[in-house]
Amino acid sequence: MMKRMIGLLLAAALMLSAAALAEGIDYLALVNKQHQLPEGWEDSLEIVEVTNSVDQKVEVEKKTYEAYLALAEELEREDGIHIELDSGRRSVAEQQEIRDNFMVKYGEEYTRKTVAVPGYSEHQTGLAIDLYFITADGTTVYYNEDLTKEEYYGVWDKIHEKLAKNGFILRYLKGKEGVTDYDYEPWHLRYIDDPELAREIMEKSLTLEEYLGEAAALPAYVYPFAGENPVMAAAAEYLVTADLGCEPEEGGVLIPAPIVLKEETGETEATLWGNFWVFAYKLNGSILECTAGGENPGVMKLEKKDGKWQVVSLELAEDGADFDAGIRAFANGDAELEKAYYLSSGADEGYLPQYRRSFIVEYVNANKLDGVAYQDNGWEPVDITM
């Protein structure tokens, strides 16, 4: 084993970036489906390139690779387990290729749960490694479906017991899929360069998101077409910041679904007649679970001040017995508008489903929340990829 390790070290090719070395790296940097690789990250990497047992070249950040060698030597010496590097640092093109291959081999659902979109993959940090292993009889256990077989549970237990000592944590834990938005991956390790902290995280069964206080935090809603429709942008911003009785849970987000039934816009003033729905969501795995929501039928007035549109008033229909009178007042004798108000009021029929889906799709795409569906309590998830 020692000869093999020395050979690997001698064969390793250090590829230094044009800028600073690894002293500028934040070993606790969070990269996931909501947090992109920090700008300029690769300029601070010192990379080692090695060849594994199946003749694949793997790149790893230098200190991460040194920690991997220590882990591998310890497992071989104490447990007779021979681990290998399956994957380390990936370029954008490599990440996309892997994703495309998984789509073909495993399908969309599995791919969404296991392979990140480029720019949001922890593998691009150089601090994440995927393992495979070779059994005592020389069998190479390489593919995901084989690595997760019950007969190898004991092997992973022994590997995981030694992670913290060498500065690694298990990144995607069983039972924490709702936090990481990835299925359990016993092979995916993350180097954090601090054995004591790694031990604390492992002993408490924390994800990196939980330790950093970033568990399932969703980006704030921003209307993505402000340049094309500044009036709607102002309306949407108002709906997610005004007190309309709909609050998201911690880490959640408000996403509006305004149904504009009539609009009059001049140079400096605008009036919108419609039902200004707002929904609160939290992320549970790949599902945007609706935790609150409601309609706000009324008339919104906006003004353009200093070149920017802003809401100056929102008159809403009263609840209960006065609701119909309020709708009639808003319609002001316009029978078609009055009818449209009622069509905008049904939560599961009428105009709302298509508007709601449209705003969720725009939010998901703008924030690269890959493969997300949304779900109301007691209902099946609604696929937004169709």
Residues labelled as active-site residues: 185
At which residue do the structure tokens 């799709």 appear?
361
Q: Please, are residues 370 and 34 in contact by the beta-carbon 8 Å criterion?
A: no
Q: What is the dihedral of CA 323, 329, 333, 334, to 10 degrees?
A: -70
Question: Which residue type sits at 103?
Answer: M
Q: Which residues contact 318 (CB under 8 A, 6 or more apart)?
A: 325, 326
Q: Which residues contact 306 (CB under 8 A, 6 or more apart)?
A: none
Tokens of residue 259, six digits: 């149904």
Q: Please, are residues 261 and 341 in contact by the beta-carbon 8 Å criterion?
A: yes
Instruction: Give all strands of the β-sheet with 13-16 in edge-to-edge order.
Output: 13-16, 46-51, 57-61
Q: Which residues contact 261 (CB under 8 A, 6 or more apart)?
A: 273, 274, 275, 337, 340, 341, 344
DSSP character string of 316-359: EPPSGGGHHHHHHHHHTT-HHHHHHHHHTT-SSSTTHHHHHHHH
Q: Please, are residues 189 and 163 in contact by the beta-carbon 8 Å criterion?
A: yes
At which residue do the structure tokens 């108002």 appear?
238
What whole-number distance in Å separates Cα of residue 100 and Cα of residue 200? 36
The number of beta carbons lying within 10 Å of the beta carbon of residue 21 is 13
At which residue do the structure tokens 């725009």 appear?
362
Question: Which residue type sits at 152?
Answer: Y
Cα-Cα-Cα-Cα dihedral sign, residues 259, 263, 265, 270: negative
Residues linked to residue 305 through DSSP beta bridges, in sequence order? 308
Tokens of residue 205, six digits: 């069964």
Three-state SS for 111? helix
Q: Please, are residues 193 and 27 in contact by the beta-carbon 8 Å criterion?
A: yes
